[in-house]
Structure 1
Amino acid sequence: MKQIAALIALLFVAMSYGQNVDIFVNKANSFFSTHIKNGRVDYKAIKNNPTTLNELISLAKEVRVSKNNPTSYQAFWINAYNISVIKGIVENYPVKQPLAIKGFFDKTTYELGGVKTTLNDLENNLLRKVFPQEARFHFVLVCAGLGCPPIINEAYTPTKLETQLQRQTTIALNNPNFIKLKGNKVQLSQIFEWYKGDFTQQGSEIEYINTFRKEAIPTNAKVSYYPYDWTLNEVK
């Protein structure tokens, strides 16, 4: 009887966690669809009415996800990162760029998923360290700068995550403003310089990029990196 009771308790907890993730993702989806326009965030509108944002942060605090359920885990933490970035900007808005906020990435903490974390810890320890082969994270985690691939107006969901990761990576790596190809020279975002190891696990940076390209970059192309644009990705 004790074993049955324990099993029922575990099932109840699992269902509760799943429901919390679903509630959070649904609310996040509504929030993003309302406040994201063409890859930019309407920080001013959120600042004027932060109720939904604050509700999302409160919800995220109560959510629990397991690495044993990778799609729920990853979807939650990707959304939590993007929402926390917006929260950090809104609390300091108006501001010209995230780097103008002291400790924005490595000092400011958020209580999410039962842990206290910074944006850097979330990206590097809760996502990249747990799933070291998943370089596509770099195309969905949005740092509030225009140099990042654009934020989308929907939440990442467990059921659509693979499609969303593949879509956003493909869009970024085919964007001539993100991958700048001229003759036998290619300029890459500094994301590829900062996280080179993520993109060279099975070959070169160009080989990784070409797996998503409609028009392949010559494998002998000379690679350089253009400066990152930290200008705030706000709706104008």
Structure 2
Amino acid sequence: MSENFKGSVVVYSILGCPHCMRTKKSLKELNVPYTDVRLDLFPQIKDEVMERSGMRTVPQIYFNAKLIGGNDAFQTLIKDKAAWEEVLKDVRENVLPEGSLIIPDPSTAVAEADFFSIQCEPDEYFALVNQMKTDNIVRTHGNFLKSHKNAFSGQDFRTWILEKKELDNDRAMEMGQALLDHNFATPLKTGESFKGGNELYILTEEDGSGSLNGGGVSECVPKSANQLGELLRKMILKLYSIYLSEDGKQVDYKGIKTSDEFRAYTQMTRELIRIDIKSAPREEKIAFFINIYNALVIHANIEKGPPKNLFGRYKFFNNTKYIIGGHPYSLQDIENGVLRANRKGVGQIFNPFGSKDPRLEVALEVHEPLVHFALVCGAKSCPPIKTYTAEKIDEELKVAAASFLENSDGCDIDMKNKSIKLSSIFKWYKVDFGSNNKELLEFVASHMAKGQKLSDLKELMSQGNYKLSFLQYDWSANSKA
């Protein structure tokens, strides 16, 4: 601490948390020294920190042993001159009581992995596909009216294996099916298995949808959905730690685009093309697709720029895609098709996936409403960016919901005017939260952290004479000019 402070100001935070960044920026502007304890680097103390504070969200701000709360509570404190002077006086004059806070030994921090040094186990079928290209087995089929690039017929492949590899017909058919099973190719007619006739098969890397990870596949044996999804997300958070402003409001997308780290990230997205996601359990799918959605938004902002109007947002969410497990998934497909169990999204006339769409097998059986507090759309009113894991996804989503509702851009309550204002997310996806306003508010109350805001909400709900409205959504982008 500085010479003017005998005590300590401690901020418990995590990497990539905008509210944490705003708190730390304010402390610096106020010339208040502080100790930043990142719980992602000290996971061994996380549970105890949460238990002591009674909070499930970060930042958690302490002036000596006094818990201020989160960023909203801190910003309110600053505006109250008398209260602010009182907490400052405490840290100026008094030493932090021994054992009152958990301050870990820096040497016990978990090393931040080098996310860009990725081990690769070569896939034998990658070399086979390259040979097919060299020997012109893969080529354009059709005529000037309708053609299919980077395609091969079952007959050409079977003959090539028999002659070039000198293998028998049964083995040729097995290898053809393996190309489909490993997501190197997909049949022109959806759902078909490999046949040795005139049927066409298209290389997955050239799906024609304009996917941001198209144009080539990874030569590595696919990682598990959980492993790859978490790895990609951590890489994006690493980029944010370098190029995100301290207040969490601006991102240097131009700087990211020219960085070596981003080039490594875009190369890794090709591993998504052949990943097996159909067989993943519910928890793994949710964590995987949340992480991929958030990474895809950032990738699109860098490559395309943020949408500037309503039509631009429509194109952005419907046309921004990754090839995942052999099929293209747009942002709309991920949110409404997979995570909302194939429900119509805002402005959609039909469900994202038709009855014969192979992606329907990937969709959750039951929608998960808490994903709305984890998906980051790239606008200022979106929830903060976090990393999600399959092992703790349900608890992490509850924390995300509580964190979102703790701040005024998620829920704002005015007791004087008996007013409850919620994020527009609750209006757009009301069907996910309840069939009427009463059920909606019961959902909100059940996911709000304990505190004055929850008490106020319950009081207004019990009185029944409140006014419910929805906050204007700030779609402005967080990119630097």
The normalised TM-score by structure 1 is: 0.81
Report matched runs for 1:107-122 at 5 Å: 107-122=319-334
AA aligned opposite 1:73: K
Counterpart pick for 1:105 among 317, 331, 334:
317
1:211 is the counterpart of 2:446? yes
**Displacement after TM superposition at 1:119 (Å):** 0.8
1:6 paired residue number = none
1:33 paired residue number = 238
Separation (CA, whole Å) in 1 of partners of 2:229 and 2:419 = 44
1:66 paired residue number = 278
1:85 paired residue number = 297
**Displacement after TM superposition at 1:20 (Å):** 5.3
SS in 1 for 2:384: coil
1:43 paired residue number = 253
Counterpart pick for 1:156 among 377, 384, 388:
388
Is the 8 Å Cα contact of residues 188 and 225 (structure 1) preserved in structure 2?
yes
Report matched runs for 1:197-208 at 5 Å: 197-200=431-434, 204-208=439-443
- Percent identity (aligned): 29
Provide structure 1 residue ranges, at least 5 long, that are not aligned to the other structure: 1-8
Q: Which has the higher helix share?
A: 1
In structure 2, the CA distance between the partners of 1:101 and 1:172, relative to structure 1 (3 Å rule), is closer
**Displacement after TM superposition at 1:187 (Å):** 1.2
1:233 is the counterpart of 2:468? no
In structure 2, the CA distance between the partners of 1:136 and 1:92, relative to structure 1 (3 Å rule), is same
The structure showing larger relative contact order (alpha-carbon pairs under 8 Å, at least 6 residues apart) is 1
- Give the root-mean-square deviation of aligned CA atoms: 2.8
Name which of structure 1's ranges 36-45 and 134-143 shifts more when overlaid on structure 2: 36-45
Counterpart pick for 1:222 among 458, 461, 467:
467
SS in 2 for 1:76: helix
Separation (CA, whole Å) in 1 of partners of 2:307 and 2:223 = 38
SS in 1 for 2:474: coil
Separation (CA, whole Å) in 2 of partners of 1:26 and 1:44 = 23
Name which of structure 1's ranges 81-90 and 97-106 shifts more when overlaid on structure 2: 97-106
Separation (CA, whole Å) in 2 of partners of 1:137 and 1:206 = 18
Rg larger for: 2
In structure 2, the CA distance between the partners of 1:52 and 1:31, relative to structure 1 (3 Å rule), is farther
2:427 paired residue number = 193
In structure 2, the CA distance between the partners of 1:235 and 1:163, relative to structure 1 (3 Å rule), is farther
1:176 is the counterpart of 2:408? yes
Is the 8 Å Cα contact of residues 145 and 233 (structure 1) preserved in structure 2?
yes
1:146 is the counterpart of 2:146? no
**Displacement after TM superposition at 1:147 (Å):** 1.3
Report matched runs for 1:6-21 at 5 Å: 19=224, 21=226
**Displacement after TM superposition at 1:71 (Å):** 1.2
Is the 8 Å Cα contact of residues 97 and 144 (structure 1) preserved in structure 2?
no
SS in 2 for 1:180: strand
Is the 8 Å Cα contact of residues 142 and 148 (structure 1) preserved in structure 2?
yes
The normalised TM-score by structure 2 is: 0.42
**Displacement after TM superposition at 1:234 (Å):** 3.6
**Displacement after TM superposition at 1:18 (Å):** 5.8
Separation (CA, whole Å) in 1 of partners of 2:254 and 2:380 = 17
Name which of structure 1's ranges 186-195 and 127-136 shifts more when overlaid on structure 2: 127-136
Separation (CA, whole Å) in 1 of partners of 2:248 and 2:272 = 23
Separation (CA, whole Å) in 1 of partners of 2:327 and 2:369 = 24
